[in-house]
Structure 1
């Protein structure tokens, strides 16, 4: 595993990212923008599931927020992978980084369960205890991902 991580750090793209005066800060800023869009869309979507913004049509609003969240997640994934690649060996050894990755997997699994529950009920507007728990769990998990990510920068 150490060889793989060291190999990632030696890729031409990664070495160019390290050597550039502007590339790394731009990638970092794009990562922060993606995270902001992701968290905002997740929070708005989950709050709508929990009953907020009732004047907005549920299905259209949630569909828009879901598409926004997917696009933002893709941006965060690409930029986060680039940021990781610069110090892959160091980050992979950090418990807080591993915690962040675990939280992302749990948040993704929570989303899949939510989608399954909605499909099983066959309704546009989900309601009930399970859906409420999943929406609250989503808020907690994605906010925890944000905090874990911020700790990575301060614990190295």
Structure 2
């Protein structure tokens, strides 16, 4: 089943065009890096705020940063899927890629749970204290881990 799905992914017209066109592949790669920047820049600021190291963010600023991070995540995931589709059989065997996908899934789940809890009880968000500090630290470590694993893919 996995093999059939990977084959179908690789056979997509856009994946074939990306594989044959260096400029198109470079554009997809650049868009992926842009998505990562739009994700990780805001996440870093939000996490530093949650940890208690950046206290001057108000609710409107946090809302903007969370939306920017969500857009960056969507762009990074969409372009990442395109890049993956070029060589899916190679990437699925790469241990760094497998670990990266797991870490991205955990980081995304962590963000969704945190967002859900925050929306239910915004007053519970107490930067620099207890569970909020731990949530910020966990998020920071997960996203930086995903970034490092993404770079590691090329060297495994």
Q: What TM-score, normalized to structure 2?
A: 0.90
Show the counterpart of 1:123: 123
Q: Secondary structure at the match of 2:123?
A: coil
Distance in 1, Cα, partners of 2:71 & 2:154: 24
Distance in 2, Cα, partners of 1:56 & 1:91: 39
Show the counterpart of 1:108: 108
Show the counterpart of 2:66: 66
Distance in 2, Cα, partners of 1:64 & 1:120: 18
Change (3 A) 1:104 1:93: same
Tell whether the 8 Å contact from 1:38 to 1:68 is kept in structure 2 after alignment: yes
Q: 1:87 and 2:79 equivalent? A: no
Q: What TM-score, normalized to structure 1?
A: 0.90
Q: Secondary structure at the match of 1:134?
A: helix
Deviation at 1:16, TM superposition (A): 1.1
Distance in 2, Cα, partners of 1:69 & 1:122: 19
Distance in 1, Cα, partners of 2:76 & 2:116: 25
Task: Return the structure number with greater helix share.
Answer: 2
Distance in 2, Cα, partners of 1:65 & 1:29: 21
What's the C-alpha RMSD, in Å, of the aligned pairs? 1.7
Distance in 1, Cα, partners of 2:151 & 2:24: 20
Deviation at 1:120, TM superposition (A): 4.7
Deviation at 1:125, TM superposition (A): 4.1
Q: Secondary structure at the match of 2:56?
A: coil
Deviation at 1:42, TM superposition (A): 0.3
Q: 1:133 and 2:139 equivalent? A: no
Q: Secondary structure at the match of 2:57?
A: coil
Tell whether the 8 Å contact from 1:114 to 1:131 is kept in structure 2 after alignment: no
Show the counterpart of 2:144: 143
Distance in 2, Cα, partners of 1:27 & 1:13: 11
Distance in 2, Cα, partners of 1:15 & 1:121: 47
Show the counterpart of 2:17: 16
1:88-147 CA-to-partner distances (Å, cap 9, x unmatched) read 111111111110111011112211332344345441743431111111000000000000
How many residues are matched? 154
